[in-house]
Chains A and B, each alone.
Chain A
Amino acid sequence: MSDLNRRDVLKLGAIGAAGAVAGLGFPAVIRAQAKEVVMLGIWPFTGAFSDVGPILDRGMKMALEERGMKILGRPIKYITRDSATQAGASTRRVEEAVDGEGAKFVIGPWSSGVALAVSEVAKRKKVLHYFSGGTEDISGARCHRYSFQWAASPYTAAKTVVDTFMKANPRAKRWHLLVADYAFGWSVEKYIKEVGKTHGLEFVGADRHPLGEREFSNYVTKAAGNKPDVVAMINFGLDAVTAAREIFNFGLTPKLPLIMSWSSGVEELVQLTPEIRENIWVGSNFYYTADTPVAKEFVKSYQAKFGGPPGYAPSAAYGMTRMLLHGFDRAKSVEVQDVVKGLEGIEVNDLVGRMRVDAKTHQTLRPFFFMRCKPKSAMKNPMDFADIIATGDTPLPAQYAACKDIGSF
């Protein structure tokens, strides 16, 4: 003590006081932020797809709550932002959440076109981004180290749908396509046509409609005029529901089969009456009767909480979050780049069965479901919409792969 002079005492006092303040006051927030793992759910709470925003949120929350809102001993701070299904709003809000709230792990949104914009933000900001949707570009032409795709490849979907349908209806060679005019529609259309070649299909028409179309009478008139054996839709959500209803009103179904190639399953089917659903065939990334232990447990707990079975939307949010958390476990780290490496090549038995993330493309290799809707008389309860008649997991053949080099960090 004898070596200390007045100046040293003052210095030590200042440091001590600062330490005390840091322990008691607002710097505690800074310390908590450093320990917290901030995850952002960018979901459509307004605009197109606003009906599924809240249930996507549910799915992500359920997966996090299963882990007690913790990962590797650290608390998870879950925040949400409204994507509004607009690229501008989504990118601005993701940047704000990354810069302002310290979000390092982003899941969503729900539209392929918007997701591609968010993926660019993830690349620039070096945050991990998980998405589930129909565009092939996330794991294709615009792949990079920070973005991952949970949904099956559009090729896997097209192969499952076309092969299974043609096996059941070998004479249905004349196909009319009704396609949503954005990234998801283009991707699935391309592969339905490719796979269709192997079955000798003739595409007698392929009309594209804008996202949010509500007047399908003219599209249906054109489809009817082409005298197809089957109408295949590559659209989603309310677009698909409205079109299916119109096709029924025009009397095309149930005489002709209608394929909903990439459906959200429950969320769409519940909006159609049993009469409209007759002779509808449905491809989806999830159906609630999926026979896996994780799906059974999830469906049970979802039904107990919300009174109905989950569709593709909450299941995708739940599934993506689970995969992300598996990535943390494998990496044994909460650093973004470690978790990216943890996810690359990971192989788990999860929500839809065997799932593997291709390290070269960040595409999740996984089964895709194909269902046939039940007639009213065969339904055991009002939510018993369909039977799973096939699952397919054929990966994208190398000649179609657009992600040549996923690059470095």
Chain B
Amino acid sequence: MLYALMGLGLSLITGVLNIPNFAHGALFAVGAYFLFSAIHAVGNFWLALVLAPVGVALLGLVIEYAGIRPLYAAGHDYQLLFTFGLSLILGEGIIVVWGPIGFSQLPPSILRGGLDLGFIFYPKYRLFVMVMAGLLVLATWLFLEKTRYGAIMRAGIENKEMVSLLGIDVHRLFTAAFALGAYLAGIAGALTAPIRGLSPSMGVDMLGIAFVVVALGGLGNLLGAIAAGLIIGVAQAVVALYWTEASVAVIFAVMAAILLVRPQGLFGIR
């Protein structure tokens, strides 16, 4: 579900702004580090889990407004280079602020340890993450499908010029889409921190998978991102049970196999 969450945010930004956001992995890492600092500041995991992704969304808002927006006129390549440069700046920023050596963040005490599910012994915190990420994906989906602003965002993905001609401030739409994408990356990072810990390179590891999810689902297709995230996650889990050495390679093998049959991705039309 975390892959779906990451893929959904990246797909939203790719769809609306029409740029592959290379800083998406770095925003994921920033979410984890914000959670760590917020826990130390407020002393409460749950409050920190609310605050950390909001902080990343605000950061996303600033990035779009101050960094990407002035480059709309300059063209696509400049925006792409900007997000790539931004990913390096954020990565180095993490090292400057929190140091090069990673650290661990324990789950809240109520979610420590595991549950015997009969067929498998599974950590409580991972079960919580599954449910939480599922709810977030569902909430985002409902927002995009059932609200007026969600409809505008979807329309923005389909045809920005038309949306603009209808009198909608397309720049505000871009900012909102980037902030929402950053929020999803941030909360994915925050939820991941107690599982994988924190390290400056954690975003790089996740960025590749997020791009696989977006490509597999179809560029800018939100439903495709969710489905691809689930397919990748399940494929990785199943292969790891029987052939652990191939658990990373399978992500790319699944992508290659599906793209050979459907070059536009599972739900892509272009």
Contacts and interface: CB of A to CB of B under 8 A. Distances in A.
A253 to B, nearest CB: 11
B240 A218 contact: yes
A157 B164 CA distance: 68
Contact of A249 (B101, B123, B248): B123
B263 interface: no
A238 B104 CA distance: 11
Contacts of B85: none
B244 interface: yes
B244 A217 contact: no
B206 to A, nearest CB: 8
Nearest to A267: B101
Contact of B201 (A50, A207, A210, A272): A50
Interface string B123-161: 101100000000000000000000000000000000000
Contacts of B197: 241-242, 245, 271
B16 to A, nearest CB: 29
A208 interface: yes
B102 A271 contact: yes
Main secondary structure of the interface of B (DSSP, over half): mixed
A215 interface: yes
Contact of A245 (B104, B205, B236): B104
B106 A215 contact: no
Nearest to A251: B114
Nearest to A50: B201
Contact of A209 (B202, B241, B245): B245
B196 A219 contact: no
A245 B196 contact: yes
B101 A251 contact: no
Nearest to A49: B201
A270 B101 CA distance: 8
A251 B121 contact: yes
B93 to A, nearest CB: 16
Contact of A246 (B103, B195, B248): B195
A251 B106 CA distance: 13
Contacts, number: 92
Nearest to B202: A214
Nearest to A51: B100
A203 to B, nearest CB: 16
B217 to A, nearest CB: 20
B120 interface: yes
Contact of B247 (A218, A238, A246): A218
Given A251-B123, A271-B197, A221 B241 contact: yes
Contact of B103 (A214, A224, A271): A271
B106 A273 contact: yes
B237 interface: yes
Q: Size band of the B side of the interface?
A: 20 to 34
A270 B107 CA distance: 18
A221 B194 CA distance: 18
Nearest to A218: B240
Contacts of B11: none
Contacts of A222: 241, 244
A219 B114 contact: no
Contacts of A219: 240, 244
A96 interface: no
Contacts of A241: 102, 104, 197
Contacts of B189: none
Contact of B200 (A51, A267, A276): A51
Interface string B207-233: 000000000000000000000000000
Contact of A251 (B113, B236, B240): B113
Given A208-B245, A219-B244, 12 more contacts: A51-B101, A212-B205, A217-B123, A218-B237, A218-B247, A221-B122, A222-B241, A238-B199, A241-B102, A249-B125, A273-B103, A275-B106
27 contacts: A208-B244, A209-B247, A212-B248, A214-B205, A215-B240, A217-B126, A217-B240, A218-B236, A218-B240, A218-B241, A221-B121, A221-B241, A238-B102, A238-B199, A245-B195, A246-B195, A249-B107, A249-B112, A249-B194, A250-B122, A250-B123, A251-B121, A270-B103, A271-B104, A271-B199, A273-B103, A275-B106
